Structure 1
Amino acid sequence: MGVTAKDFCEQTWKQSHHSRRRSQRVGLRITATGCLFALLYAAYKVFGLISIGLELNLLPHGTRCSTPISPFRCVFSVTAPALAVLLITLGLTLPAVAWPFSQFLRRRWESRSFAALAPLWQDITDATPEVVLATTDSSHESDNVHRSPADDSDFHLHRRVIEINDGGLALRPHRSPHVREQAERTATARGLAGTPEGDALVEAAILRAAVHAKHTGGEPQRAPAPPAPGAASRAGDLRAETAWLLLVAHAYAQQEPAHPTTTNDLTRSRTGSDPRA
């Protein structure tokens, strides 16, 4: 039993350093801990047998373990094998139980994120329909705006994030610096300056104004507003990119439709009259 526990402990501990799944790493380490208790129990038994066989009397063997206050060795002899079996069973069972549960949580988050991004996705793709990826079935993506993806939530969410980002790139010439300045003042007034929520508020205002300018045929900006902070660090990370777009979508839904400032608007604000009158 000791040799088996030793080999099993070495294999599970070594494999725990190479496993990609967190639940599997934790489970294998719990199993290795159980094997250590089994090794300690086996060593205790071997030591006891040697003591009895050589009549060394190193361990008193006439004491019963049924007394209210049992000696330490009695507690150990009962607890060690129980802990070994419990930890080994728990460690081998944990990955099989945790993996389906974690996948359920992941799919639920992806489905909810897919639905939460729908209003932002709808406005951006209406302004830039060329960014919508081709579908493999007869149904169009717009049919799924109010429907949560049931089968392949990862694919649907990844596609929606890509289309929103591609739409943002297509709207880049219409990113108004004036709208950005106004949004930054609003974020500062709300105490959100320098926070992800404040950056999302600014980005949402710029996107809303850019969508409006695209629909109304507004002229491109000479110096478009720069992209949102942290764009490079989020590249290639679906969860980080989705979390950022969820903040933008939330701020986007709370804002009133923005109208970019035109040259005539600036003239009226300076002269106090309408040049078209």
Structure 2
Amino acid sequence: MNVLEIDNLSVRYDGHNAVDGINFSVKEGDLLGIVGPNGAGKTTLFRAILGLQNYTGDIKLFGYSGKHYYPLLPLIGYVSQKVNFEQNFPATVKEVVSMGIISEKKLHKGATLLQNCGCCWNRIYKKIEKSDERAIEALKTVGLESLSERRIGELSGGELQRVFIAKALVKDPVLLILDEPVTGVDVETQNKFYNILKKINTENKITIVWSSHDLEAISNLANRVACMNRKLFFHGEKEEFFSNKDLLKTYTESAMQMHMHHHD
């Protein structure tokens, strides 16, 4: 069974399609890299999947369609492109990560749906341990356990981004959605993030959908690629995408056009 299925999905803003009739699916264990220029509709797509955006077409999670999959949404981890946090917010790193832990009631509803469709993922049925332990475990995954007691306002941009990845991981999600999560951070921090991403996918067995402009990182880490600019013009194995010069040329040209448009 597919973790996620998108069927003829469109989203309209101000009389034009921000997302225009796209179709693709994500299998369990996939690390899908979504590429496309700024304004291509990637964030809008993610908002639709998360139930934050009206759309036409159909979205299925584990075979459940539309509002029927809403109890599964707490089991999706999401990290947005821009993490904004008040500099003086009186919370530690560990406390912020603990905010990602969901109640047993919410956990149970989503887990029941998975069980009913034949996806018995044992990790979802773990008893919720003391939140401190879960938070530290998630911080270890992203390499920040040593900063667990530090104030959130004292972190660098890259550290802050990893805290929010830990916050998304603390509930052991069945699907992790990352919207250009390393925008504006240095190369060393990006490389740390890419190592974390691979670890989450292979060791934690978490299916990942990740949008990025970094084609080299997508080539190294993803097993499948979707390329979109409002419409979807490729979805398949990464080897097929990166060996197709016409596709790469189309992607580069559309990215440049969008870049020029934003600077007009």
Task: Please tell me the TM-score bracket, short chain as reference.
Answer: under 0.3
User: Comparing both structures, which one devotes a greater share of its residues to strand?
Assistant: 2
TM-score, normalised with respect to structure 2: 0.22
